[in-house]
């Protein structure tokens, strides 16, 4: 079995991604039990609902045993070095996964690890979320090649993983982000190279969502940025997804949000609780996508 990690959404090629999506949709029984008798360490430096529960259950469904560990308990670079923790845990577990503040921590884990390392969210990436996002769009919209995904708000960890994963599947990618919170030029070119049908960025929410089949957003202030809350609320004030924004998207467009959401901030209650919203399906797909990804990393073939 080749050692593979999932630190960035781009760690999967387009072919790999299609395999993972296939593994995410087939029956649990047909995956076998690749983690039978094996453990998965799940280390969290930040709070979580979806990621913890979906990963724990995915491990169980593959026959394994998840061990939830709080970041301060192992003390990454505090109690001992990330490298020592990684080497020790690799002797107990078949999978190491971590949710961290600093993306470099998961990179260092992957550099050192003899077992697959999974990024469960860092300041730069949320690759497991990106998988569930495209799985949900595929189920709702059919084949995604040539379909249009739009993300509005902060070009953050969730946005970057969504854009990269969507690009790998040949989607048109539209971004609506205020100045100061946009993707850098190099990132737009990289999305094009990954396979996006087109990539466009706007600083106006109505222009951005025009004709899109799926409209995504996320919180304006991510975990770890709480001191910037006031500044961000001002910068994103005109980037709330409300009904008039959804009207500018395609007629049957879906609304998506990784959750947790703040009604009255990045999205109105009318939109997130309305008929176009697929956020609960999206949240449930976190488990199916996690199971597909873990099976792929354990060498299961689609």
Residues binding ligand CP (CB under 6 A) = 48-51, 121, 129, 258-259
- Taking CB under 6 A as the rule, does residue 149 contact ligand NVA? no
Residue 152 to residue 203: CA distance in whole angstroms = 9
End-to-end CA separation in angstroms for the chain = 15
State whether the Cα torsion 218-224-230-234 is positive or negative: negative
Residue 250: contacted member of ligand CP, ligand NVA, none (CB under 5 to 8 Å, by partner type):
none
User: Is-catalytic flag, 232?
Assistant: no
- Taking CB under 6 A as the rule, does residue 218 contact ligand NVA? yes
Active-site residue, from 129, 182, 240, 282: 129
Query: For residues 190 and 223, which CB has a smaller minimum distance to ligand NVA in the complex?
Result: 223
Q: How far is the CB of 27 from ligand NVA (least distance, A)?
A: 28
User: Is-catalytic flag, 218?
Assistant: yes
Among 156, 277, 282, 285, binds ligand NVA (CB under 6 A): 156
User: Is-catalytic flag, 18?
Assistant: no
User: Is-catalytic flag, 108?
Assistant: no
Residue 101 to residue 29: CA distance in whole angstroms = 36
Ranges of H-type helices in the chain: 14-25, 50-61, 71-74, 82-89, 103-112, 127-141, 157-168, 185-194, 205-209, 229-235, 243-248, 269-272, 279-297
Among 115, 175, 219, 295, binds ligand NVA (CB under 6 A): 219
Residue 10 to residue 165: CA distance in whole angstroms = 7
Residue 49: contacted member of ligand CP, ligand NVA, none (CB under 5 to 8 Å, by partner type):
ligand CP
- Report yes or no: 113 and 96 within 8 Å, Cβ to Cβ: yes
Among 28, 67, 210, 223, binds ligand NVA (CB under 6 A): 223
Question: Residues 101-130 vs ligand NVA: string with x where CB under 6 A?
Answer: --------------------x---------
φ, ψ of residue 211 in degrees (nearest 5):
75, 5
């Amino acid at each position: 079995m080749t050692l593979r990690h999932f630190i960035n959404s781009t760690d999967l090629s387009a072919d790999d991604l299609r395999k993972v999506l296939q593994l995410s949709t087939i029956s649990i029984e047909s995956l076998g039990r690749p983690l039978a008798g094996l453990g998965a360490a799940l280390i969290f430096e930040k709070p979580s609902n979806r990621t913890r529960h979906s990963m724990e259950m995915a491990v169980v469904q593959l026959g394994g045993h998840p061990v939830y560990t709080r970041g301060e308990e192992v003390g990454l670079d505090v109690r001992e070095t990330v490298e020592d923790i990684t080497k020790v845990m690799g002797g107990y577990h078949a999978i190491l996964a971590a949710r961290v503040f600093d993306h470099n921590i998961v990179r260092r884990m992957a550099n050192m690890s003899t077992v697959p390392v999974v990024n469960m969210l860092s300041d730069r990436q949320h690759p497991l979320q990106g998988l569930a996002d495209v799985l949900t769009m595929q189920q709702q919209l059919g084949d995604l090649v040539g379909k249009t995904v739009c993300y509005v708000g902060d070009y953050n960890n969730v946005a970057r993983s969504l854009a990269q994963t969507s690009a790998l599947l040949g989607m048109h990618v539209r971004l609506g982000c205020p100045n100061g919170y946009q993707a850098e030029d190099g990132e737009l070119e990289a999305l094009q190279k990954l396979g996006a049908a087109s990539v466009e960025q706007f600083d106006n929410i109505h222009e951005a969502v025009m004709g899109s089949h799926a409209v995504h957003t996320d919180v304006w202030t991510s975990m770890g940025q709480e001191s910037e809350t006031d500044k961000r609320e001002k910068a994103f004030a005109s980037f709330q997804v409300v009904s008039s924004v959804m009207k500018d998207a395609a007629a049957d467009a879906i609304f998506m949000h990784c959750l947790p959401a703040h009604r009255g901030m990045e999205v109105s209650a009318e939109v997130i609780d309305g008929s176009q919203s697929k956020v609960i399906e999206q949240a449930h797909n976190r488990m199916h996508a996690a199971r597909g990804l873990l099976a792929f990393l354990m060498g299961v073939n689609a």
